[in-house]
Amino acid sequence: MTLTYERGRLALFLAACSAAWSLALTGCGDAAPGELSHSHADENDHADGHAPLGEAGESDPSGHADSHTDIALTDAERDALGVVLGAVSRGPVDGWVELPGEVRFDENRIALVSAPVEGVIRDVFASVGDQVRQGDVLAVLDSRELAEAKAAYLSTLASLELVRPEFERERELFDRGVSTESRFQTARRALEEARIAVRSAQYQLDALGVDETARDALADPETGALSRYALIAPMDGVITERHAVRGEFAEAGDVEPTFVIADSRQVWVDAAIYGPDMLRVRQGARARIRLADAEQIASVVSFVAPQIGEATRTGLARLIVDNADGRLMPGAFVTVELEDAAAAQSLRAPASAIQMLEGETVVFVPEGDRFEARPVRLGRRGPDYVEIVSGLALGDALVVEGAFALKAELQKGEFGDGHAH
């Protein structure tokens, strides 16, 4: 029994020693890989040229890489980047007055065509919507009044031709001393009366719209029909109204013109100004016409009426706008935005000139053949201009178009692929 007890104690001792030995081996195996990994990481970091995290600031105490603030460009490179220069100006930054407006025909480009004589409309050659050219025949009338005036003119011409030879004969006889002065004076008086009658008949035809060319053709039996009167287009344009029907009797001085011709290649945009806004609008101010599709047309205020309309109780600001592309249709309503004349005048630069570079607000200023990114401090901001608080002076030149492209070139140069220095 004693032997058995001793064998049991020996087995327990050997089991405890085996467990302790296994634990020691496991601990040694964990430590070795960790030391190897740390050693390899250090070697890899230094082999790649990167210092450990704690050493990053030793080469550049400021923590920033060396930055460039200007760029050199040739003229060709400037053109390719779309660089356009402007200047710092003074004016309102964000002051605009919004007003309702209406597109109208330019009244200097409208012609009312009516017959100055009574007559019956014989033929009509133009209708509403037709494009006509100056000199085109719009309609032809038969007029008894015109026929009488033309006949009177031809009669006076015939009388003049009858008395002229008599005057010439009496003058020759008087110069030779054969005829008396009384006979000579009588012949001269008859000639002057005939000339006066011709001039009077000419004035009558002029009043009826018969010019010199037409008078010269009266004697021609084919082209000189006495009763025919042609309505001629006095200008290029489009027929907007027609009040002529074949066989209709037209009276001189009718309230309605026979034709209305309008040229819409230039139009008026009239904006209504309400009382409180009268002092905010001035002639020459910048203006924008906002169309239904959000498109804008730039213009200026051409005229500001000096009085309030009696019927509307509003003022009037007129814009004269080029409309060769036909975007503005007379009769349409639009929104007009006018630069506020009462807004504070500030030192300003175009909003397109402002860029952000390395966390700073900058503009590009020309310096010889280079462009310097100059920091500026801004105030109020508007859709077109920003207020310059510091960094620039009135009249300073700066890049107003192409500033973003310059910024991109400058940043490209920082990576060794540009013109920055």
Tell me how far apart the alpha carbons of residues 235 and 16 are, in angstroms, rounded to a whole number. Answer: 123
Q: What count of residues does the chain have?
A: 421
Question: 253: left (phi > 0), else alpha (psi -120 to 50), else beta?
Answer: left
pLDDT for 276: 80
> Angle 336-340-345 (CA atoms, 0-180°, nearest 5)?
150
Tokens representing 388 are: 């310059």
Q: Does domain 70-93+345-413 have CATH number 2.40.420.20?
A: yes
pLDDT for 366: 93
DSSP E strand stretches across 177-308: 228-232, 237-242, 249-250, 259-262, 266-273, 286-290, 296-300, 303-304
Residue 52 confidence (pLDDT) above 60: no
Q: Does domain 96-108+263-339 have CATH number 2.40.30.170?
A: yes
| pLDDT tens column, 143-153 | 888 888 888 88
pLDDT for 89: 92
CA atoms within 13 A on the CB side of 235: 16
Tell me how far apart the alpha carbons of residues 84 and 53 are, in angstroms, rounded to a whole number. Answer: 46
Mean pLDDT of the 106-117 span: 91
Q: Are 154 and 229 in contact (CB under 8 A)?
A: no
Residue 62 confidence (pLDDT) above 70: no
User: Looking up tokens 């209504």, which residue turns up?
Assistant: 272
Which helix (DSSP H) or strand (DSSP E) does residue 412 occupy? helix 403-413
Highest mean pLDDT among 28-42, 95-109, 289-303: 95-109
Q: What global pTM score does this model have?
A: 0.58
Which is nearest to 316 in space by CA: 277, 366, 360? 277
CA torsion sign for 391, 393, 397, 399 is positive
